[in-house]
Structure 1
Amino acid sequence: MPEQKHKTLKPHWVERFFLGTGAVICFGATFGLAVADRSASATVTGAMTAALLLFYFLPSFESVEAFGLKAQLRARIGEVDELLEQLRASALVSSRINYAHIGWSTRMDGPSWRIRKGWFDELSQNLEDLGLLPEAVHKAKQPFLDFVTLDLFLPFEQMVQERLNEQTRLQTKELASATLGTPPERVAALNSSIREIDAKRQMPPVIDDPLVFSFSALVERRLNDLPIPEGDKTKLRSFGYRIASISDVVQATKSISSEALDELEKYEADAAAWLPAYREIFVEQGGVN
């Protein structure tokens, strides 16, 4: 084993000997030519000296461990990695705020849904370019996606409210036409029903709700204890499930599909765009304004 090591090192020793000797000779020649005021020749031999010295010391630089540079390089890389992780963490925090801000801008007269989708896509691409884990990016997107589902849920909720209004109108009309001959139990039942309807008017929360990932679950929860006929619930459910097929794709893909954008823009252009569908569903029951 030592003999093999000796054979490996010997060629390097020979090369260094001749390189060193050549450098000394060239340096001496350079000095002599400089004294003789032969600057052109001295320049050539000086360059040869520098080249020979470079090749002489080059093996020393093959390992960056010489002069402790490897340790310094590792330290610098560690600092860069730490700064990158801090940048990624900061980007996640700021992006979550930005996503929420884009979502909240839909509450008032602000940029159109198409513009907001463009912001959403650009922000999402920036996070992906930072090399963040998909799970972290999806979590950051969630505040905005909640607002998408909320805006898709609102037309269904408008239908629910209209149906509750219709129930209240019918019962109020019957109550107003009650006479002395109307059984007190019926009057009490009508008053109780009207109060129950009023108590069920408030829409359950959608933002930050675990059910936001399943629109059909939101629909079922809303319909579950409404004081309206089961036939009405079935018809409302048919409309809600159509929207569910759009919202659930948004939540599953963490992106806004063209179908979702079309639906959002429809209600953005006309907040009462749900009325034709409502009239179509309940046309045979009457009582629709």
Structure 2
Amino acid sequence: MLYVVFDDTGRCLVSRDDPAPSGRAERADYDGVVAIALAAPHDQDWAATAPDLDGNRLLAGSVMLVVAGATLAASALVSPWVAVPAGAAATVYVGRRHNIAAARAEARWASRHRILDTRAEVARFRRAFDAARTILVAWPYFAELVQVPSPRREVSASLWTIAGLLRDHADLAEQHVALSEARFGDLPAHASVRGALDERLARVEAAQRALSAEIDRRLEPLTDLAARSASFVRAEAATHVAHEAVRRADEAVRRADESLGRVAAPAAPPDETRELAERTAAIIKAYRELTDRT
């Protein structure tokens, strides 16, 4: 499963875990790609910190309190010259263990969550997401034709990769801004660091171009497949409409034939006037022939 969250501030979260956002949210499952729209207003914090860090901090604080209490007790029973250094060492040990655990938790969370919070990156990812949604919605119409039941694995992996590239591109953009401000700000003309700044700016710009090209390269097949999928569905829909129109026309002809077969042609009624006229004309003619002879 891949979860894609958009909020009203223009940010986007792409996650391999269900983010379970607080507040009201609308969900739509597109065959394994779940779109989540947060309803405004909301107070969702997407800072790149592990969700269990608060619990870790609480646990570490509790342990430190226990250590401090034990140190005071040992000072009273033994000697502060022995207990205090031991307590300090234990506190440092607990603090280091907590920091290591926190760093691991953050790394684990960051490996499964990618945040996009710049307008340019979110717009490019929205394009990828819209293409993915089109593909996943249209796929059932030609799954048998291409002999692939579902493209969810390929589409999800593509979105995840693009999100990572966009996040890296945004990070480079931040570095470029910082380097530019340092290079073209109040830096003295004779500062030796100018050369290093220029060199880093050139490297960052080259990396940005390479990343942007890679993002476009990965977007192209996704948007192309989406366009072909939508075109196929439209063509199939038009064909279905045409076939349905022909079917209805054939049905109308068939029913008309059935009706015509059930209704016999009406018999012509006798024309009494014509028979009377013909009969009268024959009698008059015969009468005249007789009178003319006499």
Please classify the TM superposition score into its range, dividing by the shorter chain length.
Answer: under 0.3
Higher normalized strand content (fraction of residues): 2
Give TM-score scaled by structure 1 length.
Answer: 0.25
Give TM-score scaled by structure 2 length.
Answer: 0.25
Higher normalized helix content (fraction of residues): 1
